[in-house]
Amino acid sequence: MRRRSVSLLGLAGLLVLPLTSIPQAQAQAPAQPRAQERGEAAAAADSLVSAGKPVTASSVEGTGFEAGRAVDGNTATRWASLEGVDPQWVRIDLGAAHTVSRVKLNWEAAYGKAYRIQTSADGTTWTDVYATTTGDGGVDDLTVSGSGRYLRMHGTSRGTPYGYSLWEFEVYGAPSGGGVPGGPAVPFGSHLKPYAAGTLKPSGAQAVLDQKVVEYYNKWKAAFVRQNCGNGWYQIISPDADHPYVAEAQGYGMVVTATMAGADPDAKKIFDGLVKWKIDHPSSVNPNLLAAEQDVACKSVNGGDGATDGDMDVAYGLLLADKQWGSAGTYNYKDLALKHIAAIKKDELNPTTKLLKLGDWSSSGDQYYYISRTSDWMVDHFRAFRTASGDTTWDAVRSAHQTQISRLQSTYASGTGLLPDFVVDTNTTPKPAPGQVLEDPNDGAYWWNACRTPWRIADDAVTSGDATSLAAARKLNSWIKTKTGGDPNKIAIGYKLNGTQISAGSEAAFFAPFAVAAMTDPGSQAWLDALWNKMLTTPVDTSSYFSASIQLQVMITASGNHWVP
């Protein structure tokens, strides 16, 4: 999908972190007395189960007050919410079902006067195990009785004009065994899918990295997730595209919301609304694919055919959803995914070259049949399609794309590793587009499509450890680190394949993807940290779903939360 404009990032979107709405349980437990002293038998049975666990919060006052600091065992660091706003919450994911017998809140001066301690099996439905309207700060050492995977402090009335702030939030109990019915299998922040050995992550506590992603996600969600047309649909709006709704954006939304399950209690609801959108907007060529563009009335336009980039992510998102929630609910995610994958193979894959076409609208004999877009070459997606379908064709497809990545780098960008937006003559000797073949005079350069390739290539490298993907990612990383002297602010908007800058300025779509490439090089910790910090100081550009969505997905990978179903 072509980016129509180059806009500098604004400051809007950092002003307020949206609160996440979480349904309250029907049953309400009565308020329990504050327990400052505990019996020896109870104390002997308790174990601290919250230390270092993933933590999310409704808001954060600012840098240095992230939610993870409430479980870091350091009473000199703290979580603090936005000031002057009720309600607020901070939630711990214990990683599995636990019985909980004790909760200890070490309040900073900004304490909760009225708050509840709540448990949940799935992060959606909450049960009170303690409630008070007369909190007075200090240390609340509470005897409770409950169970669940998740536990949160839900504050409804502040004790001061400021916010809520905890030096430490301690939970004591024991694993209770069993799963979490209805909860996600790989909740965000669980890190159940480790990366390849030697992969870097940004410096800092894991809980802090996770919290930064949640904060950015909440802003992205507020800016781009919509319910504009009724019918139970959710859409990702695309203010910087040719139409308000494009398949690329819906694909991003499906991958993101399935991945953020466990951090966003509404993730499944949003995902199902996006699924309904996909089903109700079929491609006119292959109804198992998604029509590429919709207008303000939410009706498909421009022929209603499919676009490969969006369809690749839609299929991948459905596979993530099947692993997260299973396929026995409203939608059979696995069945929809397999049909989508088969449709991509039938109508968006060139059967001769095994390279992806631009969309299902291109057919044998037309001028676009042997053109491919490098940003569609999502190697980890090919691996997921092979695993889900059992179809060995996807092994050949993966190999064909990796071969061309290596060949293009060595033949046309030996000094940079950069890939062009479009590749032509894929049936003979594939080469960068000689000029405008579809969208722009820079179709043969590293421009608004190919800017995603360091992220896409390195996503496979960090999750699979594949030598070919690692080599391609490291080539890109080595060049850009040297080109900029280790300063992310010097990453330009676009390059010729020889490294000549095309446009000045700074865009997340161009600088963020290099962070994933940096993760593949053991000697690039300082460079990765510089890129991560650049992202942290870059607000969500509410006028560009493209840049914001790319940065969010890069942050998900960089924090260790990307996984292949």
Report the catalytic residues.
248, 309
Task: Please give the full DSSP string across 184-220, using - where no structure is assigned.
Answer: -SS-TT---SPPPTT----SS-HHHHHHHHHHHHHHH
Phi, psi of 143 (to 5 degrees): -85, 125
d(CA 462, CA 464): 6
Amino acid identity, position 109: A
Report CA-CA distances (Å) from 452 to 237, 279, 510, 549, 551. 20, 27, 7, 11, 10
| Residues 361, 367, 370, 375, CA torsion sign | negative
d(CA 545, CA 240): 7
d(CA 220, CA 507): 16
Kindly give the interhelix angle for 545-558 and 453-464, rounded to the nearest 10 degrees: 20
100: Cβ–Cβ under 8 A, 6 or more apart, which residues? Answer: 49, 119, 129, 144, 145, 146, 147, 148, 151, 171, 172, 173
Cβ-based neighbour number of residue 192 at 10 Å? 10
Please list the residues that pair with 306 across neighbouring strands: 291
Cβ-based neighbour number of residue 56 at 10 Å? 32
d(CA 156, CA 84): 11
User: Any idea what DSSP says for residue 116?
Assistant: E
Whether the CB-CB separation of 541 and 13 falls below 8 Å is answered with: yes
Q: Where are the alpha helices (DSSP H) in 260-378?
A: 267-280, 308-325, 333-347
d(CA 562, CA 196): 12
Q: Where are the alpha helices (DSSP H) in 225-294?
A: 247-259, 267-280
Report CA-CA distances (Å) from 342 to 286, 288, 337. 10, 9, 9
Rounded to a whole number, what is the distance in angstroms from the first to the last CA of the chain?
A: 25
What value, to the nearest 5°, has the Cα angle with vertex 252 and ends 249 and 258?
140
The residue count of the chain comes to: 565
User: Any idea what DSSP says for residue 486?
Assistant: T
What value, to the nearest 5°, has the Cα angle with vertex 205 and ends 156 and 268?
55
Cβ-based neighbour number of residue 29 at 10 Å? 17
